[in-house]
Every structure is written in structure tokens, then in C-alpha cells.
Amino acid sequence: MEAKYFWQDTRENVYGPFRMDEEGNPRTGDVIRHYRLLRHISTGALGKELGKSARWVQIMEKENMVPELISRRKLIIKALGIPPILLFPNLYGDEDLVKIENQHKLPPAKEYKNNTSGSIDLRYCDEMLQLYWGNYHVSGAQNLLLLIEEKVYILQGFTTENCSERSKALSLLCRYHQLAALIAGERDDFDRAFIHLNPALTIAEETHDSEMQAVCFFRRGLTYSAQGNLVKAATDLKKACSFEGSIPATLIGRILLSTGKAEARVLRKEHNGTLSLFEKAEKIIQDGRKEEDAHFIRLNEGNYHEHRAAALTAMGNLTEAADELQEAHETFPVDQARRHNNIDAMQAELAASSGEDVIAASVALRTFDVAKQLEMTRNINTITRVYSQLNAGSYSKSKDVRELGDKLREWNKKTPRQLHTRGYQEVPPI
């Protein structure tokens, strides 16, 4: 994580903390976000003031893509009350704004204050959680985990205070833990995932929040399943299902899909009881209920096709599984890169199992490149299994298979592999 610094002008006004840009000045994206949050202005409200979208503001702050036009920067200064020296440092002398060298002597910064309580502004953490989830679904999670864990640290300190906002802080902390665990699990860093999942469940149980408990058992069950511990996965998913009468229908629909997939992986054969879980979830989707998605579950038709495909594959019904995967691809929005990468990985594995080596190699190559970019270690492991199968067959000398092998070997050199599944039941390859 890049260091943040406090800055001081000739009148001894102190600003920050902000990261430092390549020219040695405060990073303008950090400056804008800092003053926007201090004034409790949303990205949407600022975007409207500037004639832009909320997404434009988010990118400007996150990627430091601040317009160079003086007129545009003046509008930002006017909207947020930013001291001009922070957005126009090059118009001042070199000594007019300097980085404070003895940063450790300054008191710890609580940058975003609530005007009434003096506590860290929970609206800031809530807004950032929305942004993190949005970035997670449509782009990579590079550096996202560290940012999330930074907020976890902030919220942990907040929850020790005996104040009226403590319950809201606990709820936010629980949701931050879950997103952190999801990203860590995708990287096969299961130890780190459970470091977040277990405290999240503790919070949910202590606050007697049925909905939160269901989500925590659901996400922990998914993590156990990915780790290969199918017994614990089934136990947690059944506990999540037990809250059916007291949680939103869309949430139970998403839980049913994962429970059905987990059962199919255990049974390895077609079973009416398992398929009925998908039918029940499908009915919830078709009902088209519009419920608040506070946990970013995103139940939709794409989820249904993706999970049913996985279950059918485990049951040995490869033809119908392939049709379901195609439906999933066509249903998910194009910008949901992670979803499409999951489906591509499943298609590559399914094609290899069906003897369609040419398709398997082509899809595997595409999947690897995107999975590497998105840091989807789990999908790279799937592609590694596909490569092993292709390399042992008659198509092993093809250009695609050789190229895939080279890429995997290069990735293995640069990526330390950890055996997080040691001691647990391994899922047999399909």
C-alpha cells in the first residue's frame, strides 16, 4: 500500500494525508476524494455539478485522471472548497507546499468526521463498499483486497466505541469481511479467507441478524466447497437454508443454487431432490421480485444457468451442461468479466472432458489470459487441469497446447503456490 503524507503550506496549514504523485506533489485524485468525503458529497452529486457521471468521478479519484484544464479544476475547487494550492501546486513556489518529514509526530488522522458525533463517517465506508463491489464485478481485484482490509481495520476500531452508530459499524464490518473473504478465496488463499469469514459470522450471531447469518453461512459454505471440504460446505449451506422463512426470497434463491451444486458434487449422479432445488430457485427468479440486495448476492437468470451447468457436469450430463453454460454466457452482462471468466473455465474443462480438444485448448488460452489479469487463481488451477489432460492426449503437439503450457510454466515461476487444501477431501477432476 502506497504511503500517505501530510503537507504544509507557508502559513502552517496542514493538509492530508495524500499519496505523492510523480512530481512530488499531493496526488490530485486523493485530494478530490478527501474533500468530497469531508463535505459528505456523493460521487453522483459531484458528477452532476460537473456535468459528468458518478462513474466518471470514481475513475477520476481512483485512477488519478483529473482534468488538466484550469477551468475544469476551478469548477472542482468551487464545488468542494479545496485550497487552490492543492490542485495547482505548479503555480506556486517549490517551498510553498512541502511534505512534512516527521509524519510520525502527527496525531493519527481520522479524515472523515461526522459533524455531530465526531466519529469516523460511516457513510464514507458504506459508499466505498458500494464502489468496491462495483469494481469487483466488472474489473479486476488488483489492490482491492488491501483497500478493503484497510477499511476493516478502521471499522474494527469504531466498533469498540459505545455509541449509537455501533450497530451500523458492525453491519458494515461484517459485509467488508465477506467481500475480503470472497477475493481471497478466488486466489486460493483460504487461510486469509477464513480470517475474514469467521469474525463475520461471529458478528452476525452476536447481533442476532438472521439475514446476515444466512449470508455468512452461505459464503463460508462456498469457500469450503472451493477448498475441497465438501462435508463442511454442505453443513454450512444447509444452515443457510434453515433461515428460509426469515430472509428475502432472492437471497434464499441464491443459496438454493449453491446448495444444489454442492449436493451434485457429492452425489456425482442425477438426483431428483437436487434438481428440485434448481426448480425452486428458478421460480423465485421468474417471479421477478425486486428486493434490496444489501449483500450483493445478485440473483439472476445467469446465476441459475451457471450453477445448473456445474451440477449437470458433476452428474455426468455433459451435453445439457454445455447448453446451460452457453445460456449463462448470453445472459450475464458483457461487463461482468469475472462471471464470464468463471463460465469460460467451466467450458474449457467440459470440452476437454467431452474429447473436444481443439475447443478446449482455444477456450483455455483465452480463459488463462483473463484469469491472470483478474487474479482468478481458482480458474487458473482449472486451466492447469485442462492442460494436463490435453497434454496427455493426441492434441498435445498443437500450437495452442504448447502455448498454454508455456504460459502456465511462466505463471508458476512467478506465483508461489500454496497447498491450502492439505488435509481436506479433494474434489476429483471432472
Q: Which residue positions in the chain have pLDDT lower than 70?
A: 1, 101-121, 138-143, 158, 160-164, 416-430
Give the burial class of 174: count Cβ atoms within 10 A of its Cβ; 0-12 exposed, 13-18 middle, 19 or more buried: buried
Cell numbers at 47, concatenated: 458528477
Residue 15's φ and ψ, nearest 5 degrees, are -125, 155
Per-residue pLDDT at 293? 77
Per-residue pLDDT at 327? 95
Alpha-carbon gap, residue 182 to 197, rounded angstroms: 9
Which residues share a beta bridge with 8? Answer: 14, 98
Per-residue pLDDT at 113? 44
Task: Please give the CATH architecture assigned to the domain spanning 5-105.
Answer: Orthogonal Bundle (1.10)
Q: Torsion over CA of 48, 54, 58 and 61, rounded to 10 degrees?
A: 0
Q: List, for residues 108-138, the tens digit of each pLDDT value.
A: 444 444 443 334 467 778 878 887 887 777 6
Domain with CATH 1.25.40.10 in the chain: 122-336
Residue 13 is which amino acid?
Answer: N
Considering the domain 122-336 in this protein, what is its CATH number? Answer: 1.25.40.10
Burial track 228-263 (b if 16+ CB lie within 10 A, e otherwise): bbbebbbebbebbbebeeebbbbbbbbbbbbbbbbb
Length of the chain: 430
Q: List, for residues 146-163, the tens digit of each pLDDT value.
A: 778 888 877 887 676 566
Per-residue pLDDT at 371? 92
DSSP 300: -
Which residues share a beta bridge with 97? Answer: 9
Alpha-carbon gap, residue 56 to 69, rounded angstroms: 16
Alpha-carbon gap, residue 216 to 200, rounded angstroms: 7
pTM of the model: 0.66
Per-residue pLDDT at 292? 73
Domain with CATH 1.10.260.40 in the chain: 5-105
Q: What share of the chain is helix, strand, coil (3-state, %, to 5)?
A: 65, 5, 30
Per-residue pLDDT at 421? 37
Q: Torsion over CA of 284, 173, 135 and 21, rounded to 10 degrees?
A: 170
Per-residue pLDDT at 138? 62
Could you identify the residue written with the cell 450471531? 205
